[in-house]
Amino acid sequence: MQKLIIKGKKELSGKISISGSKNSTLPILAASILAKNVKIKNIPLVKDIFTMIELLNFIGLKTKLVKKKNFIEISNNNKNINTLAPYKLVKTMRAGVLVLGSLLSKYKKAKVSLPGGCAIGSRPVDLHLFALKKLGAKIKIKDGYILAEAKKGLKGTKIKFPSISVGATENALIAAFKAKGTTILKNCAIEPEIKDLISFLKKLGANIYLKGRTILIKESKIKSSKIIHQVIFDRIELGTYMIAGALLVKKNLIIDKIDPTIVKSEIDILKRIGVKIIQKKKSVIIKKSKKLKKINIITKPYPGFPTDLQAQFMVLLTQANGVSKIKENIFENRFMHVPELKRMGAQIQIKDKTALIKGPSKLAGAEVMATDLRASVSLVLAGLIAENRTVINRIYHLDRGYEFLESKLKNCKAAIKRV
């Protein structure tokens, strides 16, 4: 099994270019089932994306991934489509459930494995099914599979989500494209990745209007011409490297290929902690900061503070003066990095949904275990500032979502290697 070995305390300098967003690419790939011919650019070469491509191939689409240029071409001229998403592909990547909306809307039926729970919480799909049922689908659960059918096609209607879900909003949006009449989705997630999906669907021919948390979709025809779409940058990867810079930049760490306006709340919080950041049009520069200050953070749907950066910010706050608080409001079990950080010397207490982080603490290298994608990268950040050597096990979690992690960090003078 592969491990990462990090020798801590090496100051960072240079430039990191941010990859395309994994969480944007996944629904766009799922929505490509609706299209005839698409080219998607700026896709990150990470495990979850490879799994989604495998799923598209299994369904019967033709895909051509050009790794050197980070793009994929997908065509769907197959008359013998397999409307099945099997357990073996959905179990490793929950986003597999996003093919439900496209299969149902295009082929009027789908059999998609239930993704099941995962390390950070139970993660049900009831909100996805709630929306599809409202659109007219008949849904049964049998032997661990969602069996969905809409013999006469889906029908537009008004749907108000009882709570905000990124995946359920995406599935409903994709399904509503071909639904008869007009669909109005209320209380939607409005993450930048959802906006990227909307811009892709518009290129495919969709009539979609977004206002506040409401999305209106009018029945539309899918264009048969080739569609080209460039995926947005990965704001979570950006947040992760901004924190790496805040923790141990030598003088300047430049992070580019981004749009800083999308991560306004994260930049504001970093500034309030005392991190020196210069914002440019398509990049940020992290400068050496003197003293970091405590802060209280609550994770919320966008534009609030993202749960996907909670673990990384916690590492930063181990170096801030005073007791900081982080309340995790999105997932019920997303503090699994805490025991590992404590083994490295962090002073963290969990009280219900809140972590209390006392700093500054000296961290020392240790052998630690990665538990999920974002928890894993928080251990990398901790390893970068710890004394001596940190060994991170189970790094396949990192490979699910961080493109070229070691080489990006090594280029900035970090001592990190995979064995």
Which CB sits closer to ligand UD1, 10 or 337? 337
Secondary structure of residue 275 in the 3-state scheme: coil
Segment lying near ligand UD1 (by CB under 6 A), choices 120-128, 243-251, 280-288, 383-391: 120-128
Min dist CB 52 to ligand UD1, Å, is 10
Residue with the closest Cβ to ligand UD1? Answer: 167
Q: Which of 301, 311, 300 is nearest to 371 (CA)?
A: 311
Write each residue from 149 to 188 as x if it is in contact with ligand UD1 (CB under 6 A), else as -, in one continuous string.
----------------xxxx--------------------
Min dist CB 311 to ligand UD1, Å, is 11
Cα 305 to Cα 62, 212, 266, 275, distances in angstroms: 38, 18, 7, 17
Which CB sits closer to ligand UD1, 64 or 264? 264
Interior/surface letters 132-166, b for 16+ CB within 10 angstroms, e for the rest: bebbbbebeeeeebbebebeebbbbbebebeebbb
**Residues linked to residue 185 through DSSP beta bridges, in sequence order:** 159, 215
Which of 234, 237, 266, 308 is in the footprint of ligand UD1 by CB under 6 A?
A: 308
247 binds ligand UD1 (CB under 6 A): no
Is 412 one of the catalytic residues? no
Min dist CB 31 to ligand UD1, Å, is 13
Which CB sits closer to ligand UD1, 124 or 339? 124
Whole-number Å distance between alpha carbons of 6 and 386: 9
330 binds ligand UD1 (CB under 6 A): yes
Mind spelling out the 3-state secondary structure of 15-77? EEECCECHHHHHHHHHHHHHCCEEEEECCCCCHHHHHHHHHHHHHCCEEEEEHHHCEEEEECC
331 binds ligand UD1 (CB under 6 A): yes
Interior/surface letters 59-95, b for 16+ CB within 10 angstroms, e for the rest: bbbebebeeeebbbbbbbeeeeeebbbebebbbbbbb
123 binds ligand UD1 (CB under 6 A): yes
Min dist CB 414 to ligand UD1, Å, is 25
Which CB sits closer to ligand UD1, 125 or 208? 125
Whole-number Å distance between alpha carbons of 411 and 419: 18
Query: Do residues 144 and 113 lie in contact, with contact meaning Cβ atoms separated by under 8 Å?
Result: yes
* Catalytic residue chosen out of the listed positions 5, 65, 81, 118: 118
Q: Which H helix or E strand runs over 327?
A: strand 322-327
377 binds ligand UD1 (CB under 6 A): no
Write each residue from 187 to 226 as x if it is in contact with ligand UD1 (CB under 6 A), else as -, in one continuous string.
--x---x---------------------------------
**Amino acid code (one letter) for 118:** C
95 binds ligand UD1 (CB under 6 A): yes
Min dist CB 53 to ligand UD1, Å, is 15
Task: Note the residues at the interface with ligand UD1 (CB under 6 A).
Answer: 23, 26, 94-95, 121, 123-128, 165-168, 189, 193, 307-308, 330-331
Active site residues: 118
